[in-house]
Structure 1
Amino acid sequence: MKIDVEHVTKIYKDTKALDDVSFTLSEPKIYGLLGRNGAGKTTFMEILSGHILASDGEVLIDGENPFDNQRLTESICLIKEGDNFKKDLKIKNVLRIYAYFYPTWDQELADELIREYNLNPNAKVKALSKGMASALGIIVGLASKAPITIFDEPYIGLDAAARKTFYDILLEEYQAEQRTIIFSTHLIDEVSLMFEEVLILQDGKLVMQQQADALRDNAYAVSGATKDVETFIEDKEVIQSKQLAGMMTAYVYGNMEQAKSAGLTAEGIPIQELMIYLTENKGA
């Protein structure tokens, strides 16, 4: 399903959560939606899911607005950080409700994941720990098989082993049947290798949309004597630079081999660090 984001702005009273954001997600991929707290990620995901309307502009899925559009909302599953389910429902009833809602629901997968995460189907949502509530959200998101599946910090309270299980199953399911998966997370180092495309928001604006492989290959840190580095980066796209004791490090987007050929030290920048550099207020 093609997602077109066209000049989307969302204003809450005096706060502009999204500011004229435009981009297109044209094919099934695992997308990393990154940014600091307050960048506008959750607001965008709620608009995409049809939960709220934009103040200006619109999000279109295959040319249609998802708001108040049941045909589309049956194809979108948003799992948030918390409060995904009514507290008085039992786990088995949560699964039954979502099975009715999603035509693509995979009950066999849901049952398998219930066992994997050791959840009691008769337990009420309000009795679940944060980790168990997160596991339930992950189960619903994966078992929905929704063509657009959105995970917004879905693993609060899960330990490292449980998170790894989630990542492994997500990749298995995606490889078996591709769908558009949008993943918003602060644990970028854990999941960045899954991303096929990365979008970075800052202060409600889109500051980068790039293929993940291109980011890994072309974003690098170059270090050396200040004069040498300054000369090298004169005609380069510089993300950020810093100096200390006659030495300089610059974060550059381009061909790393050029830096090495110039006798400078160059190494790749992890996507998490790149996101931090891009969203620092100074020179972002």
Structure 2
Amino acid sequence: MKIEVKELSKKYRDKNALHQISFTLDEPKIYGLLGRNGAGKTTFMEILSGQILASSGEVLINGENPFDNQKLTQSICLIKEGQNFKKDLKVKHVLKIYSYFYPKWDEELAQELIREYNLNLHAKVKTLSKGMESALGIIVGLASKAPITVFDEPYIGLDAAARKKFYEILLEEYEAEKRTIIFSTHLIDEVSLLFEEVLIFQEGSLVLKEEAELLRNNTYAVSGTIEEVEAFIQDKEVIQKKQLAGMMTAYVYGEKQEAKNQGLNVEGIPIQDLMIYLTDRKGA
């Protein structure tokens, strides 16, 4: 499903949660939606899923607005950090309700995940631990088989082993049947290898949209004496630079081989570090 974001803005009183962002997601991929707290990620995901209206601009899915559009909303599953389910419902009733809502619901996968996470079907949502409530959200998100599946910090309370299992199953399901998966997380180092494309938000604006593989290959740190590095980066796209005791390190977007040919020290930059540099308030 094609997602078009056109001059999208959302204002809460005197604060702009989103400010005229525009981009297109036109094919099934695993997208990493990154940014610091308050960057506008959750607001965007709620508009995309038809839960709230934009102040101006629009999100179109296959040319249609998702707000108050059941044909579209049954193709979108948003699993947030919490408050996804009514507290007085039992787990089995939550799963039954969602199985009716999503036409492509995979009951076999849901049952497999219930066993994997050892989830009590007869427990009420309000009695679940934070980790078990997150597991329920993960089950709904994956089993929905929604063409657009959005996870907003879906694993709060899960231990490292349970998160790892989630990532493995997510990738298996994606490979078996491609869909657009938008994944917002602060544990970027854990999941960055899953991302095929990365979007970075900063204070309601889109500061970067790039193929993940290009970022990994073309973003690097180059180190040497101040004179050497300054000479090298003269005509380069520099993200950030810092110096200490006559030495300098610059974070550069471009071709690594040129720096290596000049004898400079070259290292890759993890996507998490890149996000931090790009959203640093002093240099944003």
Q: Name the TM-score class by shorter chain.
A: over 0.9
Task: Identify unmatched segments of 5+ residues in structure 1.
Answer: none
Question: Partners in 2 of 1:282 and 1:93 — Cα distance?
Answer: 49
Question: Partners in 2 of 1:259 and 1:223 — Cα distance?
Answer: 9
Task: Identify unmatched segments of 5+ residues in structure 2.
Answer: none
| Letter aligned with residue 187 of structure 1 | L
Residue 214 (structure 1) aligns with: 214
| Letter aligned with residue 114 of structure 1 | I
Q: Secondary structure at the match of 1:53?
A: coil
Residue 264 (structure 2) aligns with: 264
Q: Secondary structure at the match of 2:216?
A: helix
Question: Partners in 1 of 2:217 and 2:140 — Cα distance?
Answer: 35
How many pairs were matched up? 284
Q: CA deviation at 1:124?
A: 0.4
Please say if 1:242 is aligned against 2:223: no
Question: Partners in 1 of 2:241 and 2:68 — Cα distance?
Answer: 47
Q: Secondary structure at the match of 1:282?
A: coil
Residue 106 (structure 1) aligns with: 106
| Letter aligned with residue 8 of structure 2 | V
Q: Secondary structure at the match of 1:145?
A: coil
User: Aligned Cα RMSD in Å?
Assistant: 0.4
Give me the identity figure in percent: 77
Residue 154 (structure 2) aligns with: 154
| Letter aligned with residue 217 of structure 1 | N
Q: What whole-Å deviation, never above 9, does each CA across 1:161-205 have from its counterpart, x for those lacking one?
A: 000000000000000000000000000000000000000000000
Question: Partners in 2 of 1:84 and 1:283 — Cα distance?
Answer: 36
TM-score (normalizing by structure 2)? 1.00
Q: CA deviation at 1:263?
A: 1.0
Question: Partners in 1 of 2:76 and 2:55 — Cα distance?
Answer: 21
Q: What whole-Å deviation, never above 9, does each CA across 1:246-269 have from its counterpart, x for those lacking one?
A: 000000000011111111001110
Please say if 1:89 is aligned against 2:89: yes
| Letter aligned with residue 210 of structure 1 | E
Q: Secondary structure at the match of 1:137?
A: helix
Residue 274 (structure 2) aligns with: 274
Q: What whole-Å deviation, never above 9, does each CA across 1:13-63 have from its counterpart, x for those lacking one?
A: 011000000000000000000000000000000000000011000000000
Q: CA deviation at 1:283?
A: 2.0
Residue 32 (structure 2) aligns with: 32
| Letter aligned with residue 201 of structure 1 | F
